Structure 1
Amino acid sequence: MTNSASETLSVVVEREIPFPPEKIWRALTQPHLIEEWLMKSDFKPVVDHRFNFRADWGAVDCQVLEVEPHRTLSYTWAAYGLESVVTWTLTPSRTGTHLRMEQAGFRPDQQQAYQGAKHGWAQFFANLEQVLGRAE
C-alpha cells in the first residue's frame, strides 16, 4: 500500500540531557527561553493556540496540537509550502531526560527543506543544551 501521504519524511533528533523534564519543559514552553535557542515567538502551551516563530529569514506559522506538561508537546509548523508537525517527547531517564524531537510531514519533493531541517535542528539542540546549562 503506497499513497503519497505515507511517503512523507521525518527529521528525528534524540538526546540524553542531564536535566529533569521540568527544566527542559520550561525551555520548550517559555517564550523568553525559546527565543534563546530557537526563535522569537508568542508561544503559549495551550491546545489550539496559534503562534509563530520569527527569524531574519521569515516566519513559521504554528498551532498547538497537544500539551502534556513535562511529557509531550506538539504543534504544526508551516513555512514556505511545508506543512509539518513538530512533536517533543520527554522521558525521564537515569541521568536526566531523554528528549526526542520529530518533525514529520516533509514530502519527497521537499529535499531542500528536509536537509535544512536536519541541519537546523542539530544546531537548535546544541543551543538548547547551552541554554539549559545556564538557565535557573
Structure 2
Amino acid sequence: MTEAAAEMRTVVIEREFAAPAERIWRALTQPHLIEEWLMKNDFKPSVGHRFNLRGEWGGVLDCEVLAIEPQHMLAYTWNFSHADAAFDLKSVVTFTLTPTGAGTHLRVEQAGFSPTQKQAYGGAHAGWKQFLAKLDEVLARVE
C-alpha cells in the first residue's frame, strides 16, 4: 500500500431498517426508487454498467457498477469532476445488507477521500445520513 493510499479517508454510515433485505435491495437497484431517495439516474444492476447520478444541485456523478451480490452487496464508483481539480472526487460506494431479527442492517461505505478533501468528506458524512432518512421514507411506501 502506498503512503497516499494509507492516508485516504472513508465515510461509514450504518443504520437499522425495519424492512427485509429484499425491499432495501429493490430501493438500491431500481432507478425510479433510487431517484426517490438518492438522485436521478440511469442505473442498471449489471457489473460494468456506466451510469450517472444527477443531483438537484446541478452536479453529475460519473459511476460504474463494480460488484453485485443480490440482496447482500452493491458497489459502484462515485466520481465527481470539478472545474477546480482540488474538488475532484474519485471514490467507491459500497452498500452491505445484513438481515437482522428486526429487519436489515445497512452499512454504507464511501472510500477514497484524500486528507485535503475535508469539505467533501464532511459533506458525504452528512449527505449519507440525509439520503438514508429519505430511504426509510421510501421503504415505508414500497412493498
Match of 2:127 among 106, 117, 120: 120
- Residues 70-99 of structure 1 show CA distances to partners (whole Å, capped at 9, x for unaligned) of 000000000131000000000011111010
Runs of 4+ in 1 over 4 A off after TM superposition: none
Partner of 1:9: 9
1:8 Cα offset (Å): 0.6
1:132 matched to 2:133? The reply is: no
Q: Which runs of 5+ in 2 are unaligned?
A: 82-87
Which AA in structure 1 matches 2:68? Answer: V
Q: Give the share of equivalent positions with the same residue, in percent.
A: 63
Q: Find the aligned partners of 2:50 and 2:130 in 1 and give their Cα distance.
A: 25
Match of 1:109 among 107, 116, 120: 116
Q: Which runs of 5+ in 1 are unaligned?
A: none
Deviates more, 1:1-10 or 1:30-39: 1-10
1:119 Cα offset (Å): 0.8
Please give the root-mean-square deviation of Cα atoms over the aligned residues, in Å. Answer: 1.1
1:47 is paired with a residue whose SS is coil
Which AA in structure 2 matches 1:69? Answer: P
Partner of 1:90: 97
Q: Find the aligned partners of 1:115 and 1:55 in 2 and give their Cα distance.
A: 17
Partner of 1:31: 31
Which AA in structure 1 matches 2:35? Answer: E
Q: Find the aligned partners of 2:140 and 2:129 in 1 and give their Cα distance.
A: 17
Partner of 2:71: 70
1:27 Cα offset (Å): 0.2
Q: Find the aligned partners of 1:135 and 1:22 in 2 and give their Cα distance.
A: 11
Which AA in structure 2 matches 1:61? Answer: D
1:135 Cα offset (Å): 1.4
Partner of 2:48: 48
Deviates more, 1:49-58 or 1:83-92: 49-58
Compute the TM-score of the two structures, normalised by the length of structure 2: 0.92
Number of residue pairs the alignment of both structures matches: 136
Partner of 1:79: 80
1:102 is paired with a residue whose SS is strand
1:106 Cα offset (Å): 0.3
1:6 Cα offset (Å): 1.2
Compute the TM-score of the two structures, normalised by the length of structure 1: 0.97
